[in-house]
Structure formats: structure tokens, C-alpha cells
Structure 1
Amino acid sequence: MTPLTAVFAVIGLIIGFSKTSVGGLAAIAVAIAALAMPAKESTAAILAVLIAGDLVAVRLFGRHVDWSLLRSLIPAVVPGLVLGTLFLAVVSDEVLRRSIGVMLLVLVGLQLWLGRRRRTRPPRTGSEPEAEGGGPSRADHPLTSWITGTAAGFTTMTANAAGAVMTLLFVAKGVEKARFIGSFAWFFLGVNLAKVPFSVGLGLMSWIDVWRAVLVFPVVVLGGFAGRALVRRMAQHQFEIAVLLGSAVAAVALVVG
């Protein structure tokens, strides 16, 4: 096993775990990849591993998906992917690395702020579009879905960091934990597969990346089962505190590195 493959084994374990527990943890894997190899190349190299993690998450949580929620987001993702592709085509590795770090720091800050609000708001357990007893919130406005979808497309194309963007919307909507993870799984499986032709077109993705993902797939599966086991036993906010701290450290390393 080469040193880079060993690094990606760790990345695969983190991604597998994050896909079935708290998605923000994947930010650490993104940062590790960007530090281990050129930033642009890392976005494509980690993509194949992310798809492997998505497949595991769909297998374990896919039945909990909320399709009505995803239908409002998917059309807006494509413009974000296009914008992200254009950004990748013109920026240098150093600018991209620092951009990833800044994006992660901003998203961590937003998650910390929303994390405080989440514990004061009861989760919605049904598939109704509005909470009982109140009118539509800002999170339910169609424009919110379009902004979130476009931002998710851009951040996932440039930094594989759309999980934090999606978390903001899902938290604001009060999505219940199982629906949260199941909807994440299907959304990112589709989005990450859609990113493949863009990455290939930019000359960033090759069969080596696919083969590396195949090699580390067993640890992705291991991480997925570990994430599912732990998320059943621990409070969500306990995961989030650890994940946000780790994401902040990784983001700072990218910005100053």
C-alpha cells in the first residue's frame, strides 16, 4: 500500500462514518485530501470515495428519504455545478486551497449558530410542508431552496463541502434525524455522480481515482456501519460539537498552510 493510498484509507473511514452520522465530518476528509495532494486534483480524487460513501449510506438509510424535499433542490444544483466548474478552470491550487478553508470556516460558523437554535425547536416528524399551527417559514420558501441548491452545487464542485450548506437548510426545516441522513444520502449520490463528467472534462479525474476508491471501499463500509451504530446511541448535538471543532481545525490548516 502506497502512502497516498494509506491516507485515502483514513479518508474513506471518515467519509463512511460521516455519511451515516453527521455529514460535517466529511469536511475533515476534504481538508486532509487537499493537504496530501494538489488542491484541484484532490477534489476529483476524493469524489470517487464520496460516491462509495453515498452508496453505503443509501443502503443503510435510503428508505427514510423525503423525495418532496429533494425535488425542490435538484433543479438549482446544476447552475451551481457549472459555476463551480468555471471557478476550478481559472483559479490556482493555492487560491483553491485557501478558498476551501475559508468556505469551511464560514460554514462551521453558520452551523454553530444554527446548532444553538436547533435545540430550542422541536423536530418535524411527518412529511407535511409546514409545522403544525404556523404558516410557511423562510426555510419553506422556494427561493430558499434555489439559493441552497445553487450554493450546494458550487461548494460541492469546488470543495466537496456542500454537506454543511445542506445542513443549514435541513436544520432550518427541522428535518428528523433518520429523514435527514436518508435524504442526504440520495441527494449526494445524485449530485456526486453528476459531478463526474465535469471533473473528467477538466482533466482532474482518472481511472486511478476510481481504482483507489475500490481499494478503500472496505473501510468506507466499516465507517458507515460505525456511524450508524453510534448515531443510534448518542445525541446529535454531541456529534456536532466534535465535528465542528474538527472542521474548524482542518479549515484553519488549509487557510494558513
Structure 2
Amino acid sequence: MSFDPWQYALGALAAFLIGFSKTGVPGAGILAVPLMAQVLGARLSVGATLPLLLLGDGFAVAFYRQHADWGWLRRIAPWVTGGLLVGAVALKVLGDLHLRADPLGPVIGVLILAMLALTLLRERLGDRLRPTSRVGTVLTGILAGFSTMVSNAAGPVMAVFMTAAGLPKERLLGTTAWTFLIFNVAKVPLLLLLTADNPAEPLFTASTLLFTGTLLPALGLGALAGRHLLPFVPERGFRVLVLGLSGLAAVRLIV
């Protein structure tokens, strides 16, 4: 598989946004999901994006590791694990269909639109949106696990949960960083097993992983930018732009 300059450009932008979201504006990373799907196709993008997320998680943990609240992480972890397994089953079923058009594209598009709606709902309702009850924790964990497994787009779900938990800013960042690092690592063997089970519909290939490797400098640049330039970024305008572009990209994946 060979790649054109526009694919490298969009991939580098996606990697930069992932790094920036891990250390700066968390919502920025959602745009990386449809960008990578446009570059590689929906199914291959799931595996190709994972190394970028792991490196971004590493930056976030390095910056905020001492601030994690392990009590909240233990509370939601079993349900996220369940969501990961449900997502793995969904990826297997969709892969076994062997359709000419990638059926995962519309699924990712719908999940992104759902995450955008959740982000807007959170901004409107604020503290009134509190998913930290027992039932809310179960549903949030399963949805987060499923969406991160299928589309790498669980950020808004976890943001709502962690914010509702009332954690101070640094503790919220530390807890979120460790949460995503742990569960992104857990996704690796599942995606490898799915690829070995159905090599005709892989989630990892040597070409896509090499492509991802060329994007790592852009991710590092984004992580440093998020850490040091955040006070100078007009956050509201930046978020509106990212959310708007994410919505357009999600609609394109659906249609």
C-alpha cells in the first residue's frame, strides 16, 4: 500500500490533534477519528490510530501521573472492560460480512455524532448531567468501552463522567490519562486476535503501521503545543471549529 501526500497531510493533522488533546484541549482529539478514517478507510483506521493514542496517553501520564484518583478508575473499570468485549464482538461481526463497502464507516460516523451531541449536552446542562450513580456508571462504562473499541472515540463519554465526579482539574487529567492508557493497551491483543481471525479484513497491516510511524513527530509536537501553548489558544473558538469539522466528517462517513 502506498500513500499520497494528502494522506500524509491529513494523518499528520490527526496525530497533532491527538497529542494536543491529551495535554491541552481534550475535545480536539475527536476530529482525528474521521480524519484517519478518510485516509485509511474506517476499519484500518481503528488499528492505525491506536499507536498514536498510546503515545499520546504516555505524554499525558508523564505530565499528570501523580494526580490520578484510583478509586474512580476502579469503580468504572469493570464496565469499560465489558464494553470493550461488546465492541470486539461488533468488529468481528462487521468484518465477517465481507461487504464491498466498509460497514464500519457509518458506525463510526454515528458514534462521532453521538459523542458530539453528548459534548453539547454537557455544555448546556453542566452539573445537572450526573452519570455517577450506580446505573449511570454501568451505562457510561459500557458505552465508553464500546465506543473506544469500535472507533477510538470515547473521550466525550469519559469527560462527562470524570467531570460529574467533581474531581479537581489536575486530578481529572491524571485519572483520565491513566484510564485511557490502561484500556488502550488492553485493546491491542483484542485487535490482533481479530486480525488473525479474519486476515481478509485486518485491523493492523504492516503498511498502516509504517504510515502511523511517520506521524509520531506530529503527535509529539501536538503534545508539546498542548502543554505550553494552551494559555494562548482561544479555546472556545478552537472547540467550535473542531466540533463543526468533526460533525461534517462524520456525516461524510455515514453517507
Deviation at 1:75, TM superposition (A): 1.4
Q: How many residues align?
A: 240
Partner of 1:141: 133
- In structure 2, how many angstroms separate the alpha carbons of the residues matched to 1:240 and 1:66? 27
Distance in 1, matches of 2:231 and 2:172, equals 14
Whole-angstrom CA distance in 2 between matches of 1:213 and 1:146: 33
Q: Does residue 1:172 correspond to 2:164, yes or no?
A: yes
Q: What's the C-alpha RMSD, in Å, of the aligned pairs?
A: 2.5
1:230 Cα deviation (Å)? 3.6
Q: State yes or no: 1:48 paired with 2:51.
A: yes
Which runs of 5 or more residues in structure 1 are unaligned?
Answer: 122-136
Distance apart, 1:224 and its partner CA? 0.6
Aligned-partner SS, 1:202: helix
Deviations 1:41-72 (A, max 9, x none): 11001111111111111112222222222111
Q: Find the aligned partners of 2:169 and 2:232 in 1 and give their Cα distance.
A: 13
Superposed displacement of residue 102, structure 1: 1.1
2:119 aligned residue: 111
1:226 aligns with 2:218: no
- For 1:250, the aligned partner's letter is A
Given that 1:77 and 1:150 are in contact with CA atoms closer than 8 Å, whether structure 2 keeps it comes out as yes
TM-score, normalisation: structure 2: 0.83
Give the TM-score taking structure 1 as reference length.
0.83
Instruction: State yes or no: 1:193 paired with 2:185.
Output: yes
**Structure 2 residue identity aligned to 1:96:** L
Match of 1:255 in 2: 254
What is the CA distance between 1:225 and its match in structure 2? 1.3
Residue identity matched to 2:53: L
Equivalent residues in 2 for 1:12-91 (5 A)?
12-91=15-94
Q: Does 1:95 align with 2:92?
A: no
Distance of 2:35 and 2:234 partners within structure 1: 27
Q: Closer, same or farther in 2 for the Cα pair 1:73/1:237, shift >3 Å?
A: farther
Distance in 2 (alpha carbons) for counterparts of 1:231 and 1:192: 25
TM-superposed deviation, 1:212: 3.8
The answer to whether the 8 Å contact 1:22/1:243 transfers is no
Identical counterparts, % of pairs? 37
